[in-house]
Amino acid sequence: MPRIDRLQILRNDETRDGWARFTPHRERVTALLEEVATGTDGTLCVLGAGNCNDLALAQLVQRYRRIDLVDLDENALRSGLAKQNPPPGRLEICSGTDVTGVTHIMSEWMPELPASDEQVDRCIAAASALKTSFRPNSYSVAASVCLLSQLVESITLTLGENHPRFVELMTCIRREHLRRLASLTAPGGSVVLIVDVVSSQTLPQLAAVSLTKLPALLSRAISNRNFFSGMNPFVIKRLLETDEILATNLTGVRLSNPWVWDLGPRRYAVCALTAKRM
Ligand SMILES: C[S@@+](CC[C@H](N)C(=O)[O-])C[C@H]1O[C@@H](n2cnc3c(N)ncnc32)[C@H](O)[C@@H]1O
């Protein structure tokens, strides 16, 4: 199994019992997914569902006829489902799915042993060529839940942030993830991207900030360039609005106010970007 996949699985093992701690975050994510549901007959695809601690599945099955949960960690998905025990028949597990298609390539690299230009070229070509294997243009809502930061972190841990082609690979993986979300969604449907922007490790005020003061705190952090690589929500919003493929497929891009996600050892400032598929 690729090194990156193993790492993600280890992380999921560590946060599996986070159900209670995740409550305010889960309420925000679930409310958002309920809000964008059209009627009660739609379909939802969630990328990065993992332990499903951020999804109140019993509530969501009231709003979606079918929900596909996607992650590379099968055990997390299965135990997440077993814990919530939602009514059978409406949920499908799509496990073992690497949404980038390239973790096996990146896992061969270490920042200390720089990847060659040919290796990076091969990775970019494979990431850009990946065709989604499950139901393109079909979901009423396609969501990505705090997954994008993990995809970018995978590059940090393999290629390394100091590699001359880090930014190029990061922007490729980020752009392809956004395009994939759009391509999963049926015309008239919605794309939901939940992004964790910065953690209390570099923004300790997140430990005690009130919800009313959080937007200003996060704006200051972003102005000071204190956010995870590639996770500036304003840049992501602009990308959704201007990328040649995204701009012709999406409209009404909105950025929510932030909230705090308590993961135990750290807290994260999180916000949501939503858009309509044309
Ligand atoms: C921070 S977690 C999201 C929170 C999760 N929904 C929960 O409730 O615990 C990110 C998820 O993305 C998954 N993931 C990371 N890289 C992935 C990839 N390349 N393809 C598919 N899933 C990936 C991880 O396995 C993990 O479950």
**Residue 199 — left, alpha, or beta (φ > 0 → left; ψ -120 to 50 → alpha)?**
beta
The pick from 21, 103, 134, 147 for probing ligand 1's pocket by mutation, whose C-beta has the most ligand atoms within 8 angstroms, reads 147
Question: Lowest-pLDDT range, 21-30, 38-47, 147-156?
Answer: 38-47
What the block records as the tokens of 195 is 């992004």
* Cβ atoms of residues 86 and 56 within 8 Å: no
Write out pLDDT tens, residues 200-219: 999 999 999 999 999 999 99
Q: Has residue 134 got a pLDDT over 90?
A: no
Report which ligand 1 atom has the smallest distance to the Cα of 100.
19
Per-residue pLDDT, 131: 75
The amino acid present at 119, given as its one-letter code, is: Q
φ, ψ dihedrals at 67, nearest 5°:
-130, 125
Query: Could you tell me the distance, in angstroms and rounded to a whole number, from the CA of residue 8 to the centre of ligand 1?
Result: 7
Count structural domains, the chain. Answer: 1
* pLDDT-derived band at 87, boundaries 50, 70, 90: confident
Query: What is the C-alpha separation between 94 and 67, in angstroms, rounded?
Result: 10
The residue contributing the CA closest to ligand 1 atom 1 is 146
Q: Has residue 2 got a pLDDT over 80?
A: yes
Can you give the CATH number for the domain in which 208 is found?
3.40.50.150
* pLDDT-derived band at 130, boundaries 50, 70, 90: confident
Domain extent, residue 256, equals 3-277
Q: Has residue 86 got a pLDDT over 80?
A: yes
The residue contributing the CA closest to ligand 1 atom 11 is 48
Per-residue pLDDT, 215: 98
Query: What is the C-alpha separation between 243 and 43, in angstroms, rounded?
Result: 26
Per-residue pLDDT, 95: 84
φ, ψ dihedrals at 159, nearest 5°:
-80, -35
Pocket of ligand 1 (CB under 6 A): 8, 12, 15, 48-54, 71-73, 76, 97-100, 103, 145-147, 150-151
The pick from 5, 45, 72, 130 for probing ligand 1's pocket by mutation, whose C-beta has the most ligand atoms within 8 angstroms, reads 72
Per-residue pLDDT, 96: 83
The H or E element containing residue 62 is: helix 57-63
